[in-house]
Amino acid sequence: MASSISNNEIKRIKALSQKKFRDETGLFIAEGEKIVEEAVRSGYGIEKIYRREDIGEEAMSRISQLSSPSPVLAVIRKPDEGSLLHIPSGGLYLGLDSIRDPGNLGTIIRIADWFGIDGIYAAPDTVDVYNPKVVQATMGAIFRVRFRYCNLVETAERFLERGGKVYGTFLDGNNIYSSTLDTGAHSPVMIVIGNESEGISDAMSEHVSDRLFIPPYPVDEPGSESLNAAVATAVTVAEFRRRALE
Amino acid sequence: MASSISNNEIKRIKALSQKKFRDETGLFIAEGEKIVEEAVRSGYGIEKIYRREDIGEEAMSRISQLSSPSPVLAVIRKPDEGSLLHIPSGGLYLGLDSIRDPGNLGTIIRIADWFGIDGIYAAPDTVDVYNPKVVQATMGAIFRVRFRYCNLVETAERFLERGGKVYGTFLDGNNIYSSTLDTGAHSPVMIVIGNESEGISDAMSEHVSDRLFIPPYPVDEPGSESLNAAVATAVTVAEFRRRALE
């Protein structure tokens, strides 16, 4: 029946819920049939796959990060940062100016996947992308979207030096629907997403070349004070892609 | 210093975390300076407001539903369902075909507020809108958006009988950007939002008059299998409002 898993192995897997141990080992975990299947298909290095039918229900619930443990958990090697180390010559990118909520980051990665974003740059105090809550919220999109932590202000500067654009949404920005949008065909374009409560930082704002605004309805009567960070990302990116398809 | 709050009062407030007691009493709670201020401004019936400076930190942490209790908590009377009891003659509405996650429902209400949605109809097995997690996630939008639980299939039928439209997003729907969208100027329009894992139910699908699709990018290569329910709502509603503003 159940093959054995040692207490030490359980301890090492559980430790991967902490960033410190993920950084030390270069490993992270993903749970669930679909997401593990996507990890395998993506070509990520799979360290080991644990199945409930093999290790037993009790061991599974000990290594799981979920309130209802799924039947399968994979320990996966983090990829290297690859091509995002160099400033690209074109394409559409997101710049995360410190997203703090794991659910929001997961949702943003899922949006980036759906809309074919070429890569995500994140300020260092953005939540860790290999946090189990982020991994689960991406529903597998994490294995298809390139992601890199960097000095976001410097990266934005490099984008501008290359003749690119840096967009950001602000309450006093220009109506996105009546603005010209560069979709990255000839130079790199970054859409900056601000922090959930602080928005885009002052340091980053200085490097935004084009200030946008998602109009409420009716236009002059905003009800809410703002849209959720992931929602604003979705509406903005969808509009960039609508233009590219026109 | 701290005025007294009895153990019985604390118990009654804590009980409001359960739907059963919210239904029995017609009360719900909201926490935080901003959201309580919005509740007061909205004209909702305020049963009582509790402040940390009055009742003390320990009592506050006992009545709070939050992991970090905020300095103020209000017990609020649920509104009656008002004008949503009648099928409207025009306007843009959402129909929630069983949203289960409190965070998603809160985000959808915030989207509805930003984009001036005229009301939300929800199938009975949608999560309770007065669940504290939903209330907090709306960031106060709950006090500005009309909401009603109903037989959603019947409501959709009535919309169609009135010459209105019922839109829904499906993976095999028509590209939303090349579709004609009725924005509710002359008859009532409902946008149906499907359940997080099941999408729009078969029974509801039969009453969808116009099937839409949010195209991924590139169009023929969807990465993710789907967008999150709240994200799909945002992109769809934003496009309806963009058309109305054109």
DSSP string across A123-155: -TTSPPTTSHHHHHHTTTGGGTS-EEE--HHHH
CA–CA separation, B75 vs B14, rounded Å?
A: 11
- pLDDT interval class at B125 (50, 70, 90): very high
* B1 pLDDT tier (thresholds 50, 70, 90): very low
**For residues A49 and A31, what is the distance between their CA atoms, to the nearest angstrom?**
10
pLDDT at A225: 66
Q: Say whether A114 and B227 touch across the interface (CB within 8 A).
A: yes
The reply to whether residue A103 touches residue B107, judged by beta carbons under 8 angstroms, is no
Integer Cα distance of B226 and B199 in angstroms: 10
Residues of A engaging B, defined by a Cβ cutoff of 8 Å: 103, 107, 110-111, 113-116, 139-141, 144-145, 177, 214-219, 221-225, 227-228, 230-231, 234-235, 238-239, 241-242, 244-245
Mutation target among B114, B177, B219, B240 for the A interface, most CBs of A within 10 A: B114
| Amino acid B218: pLDDT | 86
CB contact under 8 A, B140 and A224: yes
- Name which of A134-138, A193-197, B2-6, B134-138 the model is least confident about: B2-6
pLDDT of residue B189: 98
Å between B4 CA and nearest CA of chain A: 34
Tell me the nearest-neighbour CA distance from B166 into chain A, angstroms.
Answer: 20
Range of lowest pLDDT (B53-57, B105-109, B225-229): B225-229
B205: its two tokens: 């699908």
By the 10 Å C-beta count (0-12 exposed, 13-18 middle, 19+ buried), A195 is classed as buried
Measured between beta carbons, the chain A residues lying within 8 angstroms of B215 are 241, 245
> Interface of chain B against chain A, CB under 8 Å?
103, 107, 110-111, 113-116, 139-141, 144-145, 177, 214-219, 221-228, 230-231, 234-235, 238-239, 241-242, 244-246
Number of Cα atoms under 13 Å in the Cβ half of residue B244? 22
Interface-testing mutation among A33, A111, A114, A191, with chain B (most B C-beta atoms within 10 A): A114
Q: Do A223 and B116 touch (CB under 8 A)?
A: yes
Residues 6+ apart with CB under 8 A from A147: A84, A109, A119, A120, A122, A129
For chain A, list residues with pLDDT below 70. Answer: 1-3, 81-83, 221-225
Domains defined along chain A, listed by start = 7-77 (3.30.1330.30), 85-245 (3.40.1280.10)
Size of interface A-B (CB pairs under 8 A): 105
Does the pLDDT of residue B73 top 60, yes or no?
yes
The rounded distance, in Å, linking the Cα atoms of B66 and B32 is 10
Assembly ipTM: 0.92
Mean pLDDT, residues B3-30: 94
Tens digits of residue pLDDT in B226-237: 788 999 999 999
Cβ of B110 and A231 within 8 Å? yes
Identify the pLDDT of residue A226. 77
pTM: 0.93
Under an 8 A CB cutoff, do A223 and B139 touch?
no
pLDDT for B211 = 97
Q: Are strands B27-31 and B72-77 parallel, antiparallel or unpaired?
A: antiparallel
- Distance to chain A for B196, nearest Cα, Å: 12
Contact A145, A79 (CB under 8 A): no
Hey, are the CB atoms on B219 and A245 less than 8 Å from each other? yes
**B83 pLDDT band (50/70/90 cuts)?**
low
Contact partners, residue A232, CB within 8 Å, separation at least 6: A169, A193, A214, A226
